[in-house]
Each structure stands twice: as structure tokens, then as C-alpha cells.
Amino acid sequence: MTAGKGSPAGEVDGNAGCRPGCGACCIAPSIHSPIPGMPNGKPAGVRCVQLDEHNLCRLFGDPRRPALCERFTFDAELCGENRQQALERIAALELATG
């Protein structure tokens, strides 16, 4: 759910900087709250079922979207220079804080 406020996962928001089609934050972190289609949340490294084929969140703007996803915003240091760096850095943060 790589998303800045006001933009679906992976879509560019003028203030957010998210890369189109990234979706790293919909894969790398664990989500402990229920997600439609994933009632027990999702483990780290597992693709969220709500991430579509273009790596965009199907729940963007939906009240069923987990609070963690709503709060996750683009951060240049965390997201790095490309999608692979974002996946690696978010996964490392998950390990360090989990």
C-alpha cells in the first residue's frame, strides 16, 4: 500500500512520491488487522490479496482498508531508488521492529 495521503498504492501523488506500480508496502510488511479476503491479516513478505495486477490497492478510499495501510506514506529514505530497494528496506524494518 505504497500510498501517500490521497493516492492509491503505487500511483504518483504530487506530495507523496510513490512510484507507479510499486506496491512494496502491500507485500513486505505484516498486517495484523483483518483485510477483506485475509481475515487474519497477512504475514510479512506475502502479497496482499487486495493488491491488483497493476500493484494498486483495491481498497484505497474504502473504510475497510486497514489503518496501517492508511498511515503508510512514501518516505524517500525507506523506499529507496526503486521497487527492489523498497521491498528490501521495508522487509528489514519489519524484521527490526517485529
Q: What is the pLDDT of residues 6-25, one digit of tens each?
A: 344 443 443 356 888 899 99
| pLDDT, position 18 | 82
Helix-strand-coil percent breakdown of the chain, rounded to 5? 30, 5, 65
Q: φ, ψ for residue 88 (rounded to 5)?
A: -65, -45
- How buried is residue 22: exposed, middle or buried, by Cβ count under 10 Å (0-12/13-18/19+)? buried
pTM: 0.78
Determine the residue type at 18: C
| pLDDT, position 3 | 39
Within 10 angstroms of residue 89's Cβ, the number of other Cβ atoms is: 17
Residues 6+ apart with CB under 8 A from 22: 2, 9, 10, 55, 79, 83, 86
The tens digit of pLDDT for each residue in 31-60 reads 999 999 999 999 999 999 999 999 999 998
Which residue did the predictor score with more confidence, 13 or 79? 79
Based on C-alpha coordinates, what's the Rg of the chain? 12
